[in-house]
Structure 1
Amino acid sequence: MLKAIIPKLPMRDRTITYNYFVEKLGFKYIGSDEFDHYLIVERDGLQIHFFEFKTLNPKENYGQIYLRTENIDDLYKSILNNNVEIHPNGHLGNKPWNQREFSLLDPDNNLLTFGEDKIK
């Protein structure tokens, strides 16, 4: 029986990725001290794993994840308050597919889209 799905995204620099997700986005660091080339963060029971890819060209990175959320307006405000840059085409808005969404690009150009179902 399946219980969860955990995305694994590329990162060039573990410290930069750590700072972005923990300090800026409010994720909690939950492990991988024994592996310098791996990082695990968690927020609200959702994990994201990162693997080192030093030669990654961010302009050629198509890593992306979609995170379902509740209270998206509050989450968006908290991210803005932490001076996190919103994707140029990803400001908070209602989409025709009945989602309220916004998007970010992490330091390695992984696309993070946060969405909440508009129909409850």
Structure 2
Amino acid sequence: MMLTDINPKLPMRDKNITREFYINKLGFKEFGSADYEGYLMMEKDQIQIHFFEFKELDPKENYGQVYIRTNSIEDFYQSLLDKKTSIHPNGQLEIKFWGQKEFSVLDPDSNLLTFGQSI
């Protein structure tokens, strides 16, 4: 037996806003054909992120975070800049002292997505 995958579940206030952000700003697509009330599944390449509805969420008090590894961080970063995606002010693309090249993005509900690649 072995663990094979992980799908983080993050809170969202508005399914349409979350869907549009992940499609238009991050290049994801919706996973599956069923439309579940209060639930959304988005995917890009080999990863999925799931979202559950939390209408009362205060984004200032949301600490949802996901770390996503990539093997082409420069290209992905540039693709987000091309889409006019806002990069986190403290999360510009840079090499960290722990040996990762990283950048971060906040989604509409203040879930922090950090993308990283080993150097």
Unaligned runs of 5+ in 1: none
What TM-score results when the alignment is normalised by the length of structure 2? Answer: 0.96
Structure 2 residue identity aligned to 1:64: Q
**Closer, same or farther: CA 97–106 of 1 in aligned 2, 3 Å:** same
Structure 2 residue identity aligned to 1:60: E
Shift of the alpha carbon at 1:33? 3.5
Q: Deviations over 1:47-69 (max 9, x none)?
A: 00000000000000000000000
What TM-score results when the alignment is normalised by the length of structure 1? Answer: 0.95
How many correspondences in the alignment? 118
Q: Deviations over 1:23-52 (max 9, x none)?
A: 211111113633120000111110000000
Cα RMSD, aligned residues only: 0.9
Structure 2 residue identity aligned to 1:37: G
Counterpart position of 2:31 = 30
Counterpart position of 1:67 = 68
SS for the counterpart of 1:5 is coil
Where do 1:1-120 residues align within 5 Å?
Answer: 1-31=2-32, 33-118=34-119
SS for the counterpart of 2:75 is helix
Task: Quote the Cα distance in structure 1 between the aligned partners of 2:97 and 2:65.
Answer: 20
Structure 2 residue identity aligned to 1:29: E
Structure 2 residue identity aligned to 1:65: V
Task: Quote the Cα distance in structure 2 between the aligned partners of 1:48 and 1:4.
Answer: 11
